[in-house]
Chains A and B, each alone.
Chain A
Amino acid sequence: MTDAALFQSILASLPEIVVVTGACVLLILGQFVRKEQEYFLVWASVAVVLIAAIATLMLAGEVRPAYAGMFVADRFAVFFKLVFYLATVLTFFLSRKYADIEGIESSEYYVLLLFALSGMMIMASATDLLSIYVGLELMVLCTYVLTGFMRRERRSNEAALKYVILGAVSTGIFLYGVSLVYGLTGTTQLDAMAAAASGHPVDPGLLLAVVFIVAGLVFKVGAVPFHMWLPDVYEGAPTTITAFMSVGPKAAGFAVILRVFLNPLFAASDVWIIVAVLAVATMALGSFVALVQDNFKRLLAYSSIAHAGFAIFGVVAGGPDGIASVMLYLLIYSFMNLGIFGTVIMMRNADFSGEAIEDYAGLAKSHPGLALLMLLYLFSLAGIPPTAGFFAKFYVLVALVERGFVMLAVIAVLLSAVAAYFYIRIVMVIYMREPGRVFAPALTPLVRATLAFTAAGTIGIGLFPSWFLRLAQHSVLGG
C-alpha cells in the first residue's frame, strides 16, 4: 500500500479511529476517576461520539474506498453511523442514573459501549466478508460483556452465557459460509464475489454458502428461526443495554444485510424466497408471542422481533425504495424504541422494577405527562398516524407494492394489526386501570432530555417526514 493510499484509508476510517482511540484513553482515565466524578466519563464519552460524528459528516461528501477494498466510507455508511451515534449517545444519557441504582457504575461500562459503537461503524462500512466479521465480533463481544454486567443477578449471568454460546454458534455458521465462498470464488470481497458468481445457473455450493451467511446475519437481528436468544437476553441484560441492543446492533445487522443481500449474487439466486419467508415468519412469531407476555422487557423483545420482520419486508422489496425504506424504518425505530425503553428505565427506582406490565397501571393518573409520552411511543410502535411509526411502515409497504408484492404487503399489515393489539393493551393498562403502588420515577435532567428528544423525533418525523425520507433516499447504496 502506497503512502497516499494509506493516508486515504486512514482519512476514510477517521471516525472509527476517533472512537477506538477515545475508548482506549477513557479506559485508562477511568482508573483514575473518583466515584463522585463519574459524570465526567459520561460527558467524555459523549464528546468522543460527537467528534466522530463531526468527522463522519465532514467525510460524507464523496465515496472513499479504503484498505484495498475492505472498507468504504459512503453515504450509506454515514446514514447508519448517524443512527449508531444517536443510539449510543442516548444510551449514555439514560445510563448514568440507572447504573447508579443498579450498582453497575464503572468506567468499563462506557468504554465497552464505545467499542461496541466502533464495531457497528466498521460493520456499516465493511465491503469484505472479513471486515464484516471483524466489526461484527467487536460489536458482539462488547455486548456479551454488557449483557452480563449485573454480576450479582443470576438472570443477567444466564442471559450473557446464553448469548455467548448461541452467538458463537452463529458466528461459526457465518464463518463457514465465508470459507465456502472463499474456496469457491477465491475472494471474500463482496464485489468480486458477485462478479465470480454471475454465471447461470449459480453454483450449488455457492448457494449453500449464501444460506450459511444469511443464517449468521439474521441471528444478529433476531429473525426467526434464530430468535431464541433474544427474549432471554433482552430480559436479563441491564435495561439500558437492552435499549441499546434493540436499536444499535440491530441497525448494524441490517446495514450488513443490506450490503450483502442486495449484492447481485443474492438478488439473482433462488434463495431470495427464503428472505420473504423469513420476514413473514419473523413478524408472525414476534407479534403472536408478544400477545401473552407479562414482562414489559420480554414484550418489547418480541416487539423488536416483529419490527425486525417488518424491516426485512423492506429488504425483500429491494431496489432503491426498498433499501431506503429499511433505513428510514431503522432511524424511526431508534427514536420510538429508545423512547419507550427510556420510560422503562426511569421506572426503575428504589425497589420498583418497572418490568411487569402491571406496574404501569394507572400511570395516567399518577404521572400524566409520562403516560402521554408512553402513549405516543406505543401508538408509534403500533404504526398509527400521525406518528413516525406509521410513516416507517407506510414506506416499506410502498416499496413492497412497487415491486408487485401485494400479497406480502397484505400479510404485513394484517400481522401489524395483531401487533397493535399488545401495544394497545399497554395503553389500556396505563390509562384505564387504577394505580397500584406509588412510585417516584428516576427522572434526571438527562433522562428528561432523552425522552423529550425521542418524543420530538417520534412526532416530528411523523408530521414532516419529507426531509428524513430524502435523507434515506440519498443515502441508498451506490446512490
Chain B
Amino acid sequence: MGFPLLSFVVFTPAAGAAILMFLRGDDAVRWTALGVTILDLAFCIAMLAGFDTTSQAMQFTESRQWVPALGITYALGVDGISVLFVFLTALLSWICVLASWVAIDRKVKEFMISLLVMQALMLGVFCALDLFLFYVFWEAMLIPMYLIIGVWGGDGRLYAAFKFFLYTLAGSLLFLIGVIVLYFQGGRTFDILALTAQVLPFQVQSWLFFAFLIAFAVKVPMVPVHTWLPDAHVQAPTAGSIILAGVLLKMGAYGFLRFSLPMLPAATVYYSPLMLALSALAIVYGGLLALAQDDLKKLVAYSSISHMGFVTLGIFALNFRGIEGGILQMFNHGVTTGALFLFVGLIYERTHTRSIANYGGLMKVAPVYTAFLALFTLSSMALPGTNSFVGELLVLSGGFTANLAAGAAAVLGALLGAAYLLGMFGNVALGSPSAGFQFKVRDVNAREMAAILPLAVFVLWIGLYPKPFLNIIDVSVQHLLAQVHAKGNGQ
C-alpha cells in the first residue's frame, strides 16, 4: 500500500475542523478554513492527475480491518463514477467558504467547523468501499447539515431542519436494514466489491431494491418524497444550499449507481419502467412547480427536482448514453445549480429580498453579476455550448432509446425549464426596475469573483470540450452496464 491519498482527501477537512476549534478571531477562522479547503482541493487534483482513465478498477484503494468480528473494514477507493464527485465536493466546499465569508456573521467558528466536518463526511461517502463505512459517513452527515440549516438558516429554519432530518433519517434507517440483509445474503461481508460480485435471488433483490429506493429517493429527491427539499433549500444559508444542491442530492443518484444497479441488477432491470416513470414525473412536476414560484431560491430548488429527474432518467435508461449523461449531468447540476444558489445568496445579501417581483433592471446596476447570471441560467436551460447541453443531450438520447414516453416527458421538462428560467432572468435582470425596487446594488467584488469564475470555467469547458470528463466516466460506465446486463437479464 502506497501513500494513502484518499485518507488524506477525506480527513484533511476533519483535521482542519479540529484546528479551528483552537483558533480565536473570525478572520483567522475564515482564512484557515479557506486554506484547508484549498489544500484538500490540491489533494483532489493530485488524485485526478493520477487517475487512470483506461481502467475500470477501483483506484487509490486502501483497506484496513475495523471490526473484524463482523467483517467490517475501513476501505476506500474511487472509480470513474465517484472520482468526479470527490473533486466536485472539494471544489464546492471551497466555494462555500467564500460564499459564507460575510454572509455568516455570527458563530463563524462553529459554522466553519460544521462545514469542514460536512465536507469530510461527503468525501467519505464517495470514497467508501465498505457498506458499513459508507453508512456511517452517509448518516453522520445529518448532524452538521442539521446544524447548518437549523442554526444559521432563515426564519423558518427549525421546521425545515426538522423535516430534513426526519425524512432522511427514516429513509436511511430502512437502507440500514437493507444493508444488514445484504450482509447476511452476501456471505457476511460489507465489502462493496465482493457484494457486487454476488448474484442474489430475484425475490431478495426486489425487497432490497425497494429498501434502497426509499433511502436514495429521499436524498435525490424523487417525487413524492421531495417535500423536504424546498423547505431545506429556502431556509438554509447560501453555503448550505450549495452543499445540498451540489453534493447531497447527488448521493441518492450515486447510491443507485453504486448499489442498486450492480448489486441488484435483476430487480433494477425489472423495475426500470417504474423508475423511468417516476423520473419523468419529477421532471415535469418539478418544472411546473418551478414555473409557479416567485421566490428565487424556491425556483432554483424546484428546478433541482426537475434536473435530478433527468439524472435518474438517464441512470434507469440502463444504456450507455443514458448513464454516461446521467453522471455528467450530476456533475453539471452541482456546478450550475451551486452557482445559481451562490447568485441568489449574493443578491440576497445586498437586498434582503428573494421575491422575483421586487427585482428588475439589475443589468444596469450590476452588469458583471448579470452577465454571469445569464451564463448560469443558460447553462441550467441546457443551451448548446454550456455543460448541461452535453449532459441533457446524452440523457435524452439514452431516454428515448429506453422509453419513448419518458423521453418525450423529458423534452417537455426541458421546455418548461426554458420557460421558468427565461422568465426569471427577464424579470430579475432585464427591463426597468420594478416599482418596489429601490436598492443600491454593488457589483461583485474580487472575493465573490473568485467563487464564481471556477464554476463559469467548468460550464464552458464541459460545454465546449466534454471529452476529458467523459473519458473519466466512460470505462466505469461500460463496466457497470456489462455487470447489469450480464446478471440482470433472464428474469
| Residues in A lying within 8 Å of B, measured CB to CB | 364, 368, 375, 379, 384-386, 390, 394-395, 397-398, 401-402, 406, 409-410, 413-414, 416-417, 420-421, 424-425, 427-428, 431-432, 465-466, 469-470, 473
Q: Take A398-B70, A465-B67, A466-B67 as given contacts and tell me if A428 and B173 are in contact as well, using a CB distance cutoff of 8 Å.
A: no
> Do B67 and A469 touch (CB < 8 A)?
yes
Partner of B174, one of A401, A410, A424: A410
For B137-180 the 0/1 string (1 means CB < 8 A from A) is 00110110011001100000110011001100110011011001
- Name 7 A/B residue pairs within 8 A (Cβ), A-sorted: A364-B110, A384-B140, A386-B140, A394-B180, A417-B169, A428-B161, A466-B69
> Do B143 and A416 touch (CB < 8 A)?
no
Q: How many A-B residue pairs have CB under 8 A?
A: 85
> Do B169 and A420 touch (CB < 8 A)?
yes
Partner of A397, one of B68, B69, B158, B180: B180
Partner of A385, one of B140, B157, B181: B140
Residues on the B chain within 8 Å of A384, using CB: 139-140, 142-143, 169
Residues on the A chain within 8 Å of B292, using CB: none
Partner of B180, one of A401, A465, A469, A473: A401
Partner of B173, one of A368, A375, A413, A431: A413
Knowing that A406-B177, A417-B173 touch, tell me 13 more A-B residue pairs with CB under 8 angstroms.
A384-B140, A390-B139, A394-B176, A397-B176, A397-B177, A398-B183, A413-B174, A416-B173, A417-B170, A421-B162, A427-B146, A432-B157, A469-B67
Nearest first, the 6 A-B pairs at minimum CB distance are A413-B173, A385-B136, A417-B170, A401-B180, A466-B67, A385-B139
> Do B176 and A431 touch (CB < 8 A)?
no
Residues on the B chain within 8 Å of A368, using CB: 110
Rounded to whole angstroms, the CA-CA distance of A466 and B169 in the bound complex is: 25
Rounded to whole angstroms, the CA-CA distance of A431 and B169 in the bound complex is: 20
> Do A432 and B151 touch (CB < 8 A)?
yes
| Residues in B lying within 8 Å of A, measured CB to CB | 65-70, 110, 135-136, 139-140, 142-143, 146-147, 150-151, 157-158, 161-162, 165-166, 169-170, 173-174, 176-177, 180-181, 183-184
B216 CB to nearest chain A CB (Å): 16
Residues on the A chain within 8 Å of B151, using CB: 364, 431-432
> Do A413 and B166 touch (CB < 8 A)?
no
B143 CB to nearest chain A CB (Å): 6
> Do A428 and B67 touch (CB < 8 A)?
no
Rounded to whole angstroms, the CA-CA distance of A30 and B169 in the bound complex is: 52
Partner of A432, one of B135, B150, B173, B183: B150
Rounded to whole angstroms, the CA-CA distance of A397 and B136 in the bound complex is: 15
Q: Considering only CB atoms, which chain A residue lies closest to B21 in the complex?
A: A372
Q: Considering only CB atoms, which chain B residue lies closest to A398 in the complex?
A: B180
Rounded to whole angstroms, the CA-CA distance of A402 and B177 in the bound complex is: 11
Q: Considering only CB atoms, which chain B residue lies closest to A472 in the complex?
A: B69
Q: Considering only CB atoms, which chain A residue lies closest to B153 in the complex?
A: A432
Rounded to whole angstroms, the CA-CA distance of A432 and B110 in the bound complex is: 13
Rounded to whole angstroms, the CA-CA distance of A414 and B151 in the bound complex is: 27
> Do B67 and A431 touch (CB < 8 A)?
no
Residues on the B chain within 8 Å of A395, using CB: 70
Residues on the B chain within 8 Å of A398, using CB: 70, 180, 183
Residues on the A chain within 8 Å of B166, using CB: 417, 420-421, 424
Rounded to whole angstroms, the CA-CA distance of A413 and B172 in the bound complex is: 10
Q: Considering only CB atoms, which chain A residue lies closest to B109 in the complex?
A: A368
> Do B161 and A469 touch (CB < 8 A)?
no
Q: Take A417-B169, A432-B158 as given contacts and tell me if A466 and B136 are in contact as well, using a CB distance cutoff of 8 Å.
A: no
Partner of B147, one of A397, A420, A431, A465: A431
> Do A466 and B184 touch (CB < 8 A)?
no
Residues on the B chain within 8 Å of A397, using CB: 176-177, 180
Residues on the A chain within 8 Å of B170, using CB: 414, 417
Rounded to whole angstroms, the CA-CA distance of A469 and B165 in the bound complex is: 29
Rounded to whole angstroms, the CA-CA distance of A398 and B136 in the bound complex is: 15
Rounded to whole angstroms, the CA-CA distance of A385 and B165 in the bound complex is: 14
Residues on the A chain within 8 Å of B140, using CB: 384-386
> Do A428 and B143 touch (CB < 8 A)?
no
Rounded to whole angstroms, the CA-CA distance of A393 and B151 in the bound complex is: 28
B206 CB to nearest chain A CB (Å): 13
Residues on the A chain within 8 Å of B69, using CB: 466, 469-470, 473
B35 CB to nearest chain A CB (Å): 23
Residues on the B chain within 8 Å of A421, using CB: 162, 166
Rounded to whole angstroms, the CA-CA distance of A410 and B170 in the bound complex is: 11
> Do A466 and B66 touch (CB < 8 A)?
yes
Q: Considering only CB atoms, which chain B residue lies closest to A473 in the complex?
A: B69
Residues on the A chain within 8 Å of B110, using CB: 364, 368
Rounded to whole angstroms, the CA-CA distance of A386 and B133 in the bound complex is: 10
Rounded to whole angstroms, the CA-CA distance of A391 and B176 in the bound complex is: 12
B209 CB to nearest chain A CB (Å): 15
Residues on the A chain within 8 Å of B158, using CB: 428, 432
Rounded to whole angstroms, the CA-CA distance of A431 and B143 in the bound complex is: 12
Q: Take A417-B169, A432-B157 as given contacts and tell me if A466 and B68 are in contact as well, using a CB distance cutoff of 8 Å.
A: yes
Q: Considering only CB atoms, which chain B residue lies closest to A371 in the complex?
A: B110
Q: Considering only CB atoms, which chain A residue lies closest to B106 in the complex?
A: A365
> Do A401 and B150 touch (CB < 8 A)?
no
Rounded to whole angstroms, the CA-CA distance of A406 and B184 in the bound complex is: 11
Partner of B136, one of A390, A416, A420, A432: A390
> Do B165 and A386 touch (CB < 8 A)?
no
Residues on the A chain within 8 Å of B161, using CB: 428, 432
Residues on the A chain within 8 Å of B173, using CB: 413-414, 416-417
Residues on the B chain within 8 Å of A386, using CB: 136, 140
Rounded to whole angstroms, the CA-CA distance of A379 and B157 in the bound complex is: 19
> Do A424 and B146 touch (CB < 8 A)?
yes
Residues on the B chain within 8 Å of A473, using CB: 69
Q: Considering only CB atoms, which chain B residue lies closest to A427 in the complex?
A: B146
Rounded to whole angstroms, the CA-CA distance of A470 and B68 in the bound complex is: 9
> Do B67 and A409 touch (CB < 8 A)?
no
Residues on the B chain within 8 Å of A417, using CB: 166, 169-170, 173
A130 CB to nearest chain B CB (Å): 37
Rounded to whole angstroms, the CA-CA distance of A111 and B135 in the bound complex is: 46
Residues on the B chain within 8 Å of A431, using CB: 147, 150-151
> Do A401 and B135 touch (CB < 8 A)?
no
Rounded to whole angstroms, the CA-CA distance of A318 and B166 in the bound complex is: 31
Partner of B184, one of A375, A402, A414: A402
Rounded to whole angstroms, the CA-CA distance of A386 and B162 in the bound complex is: 20
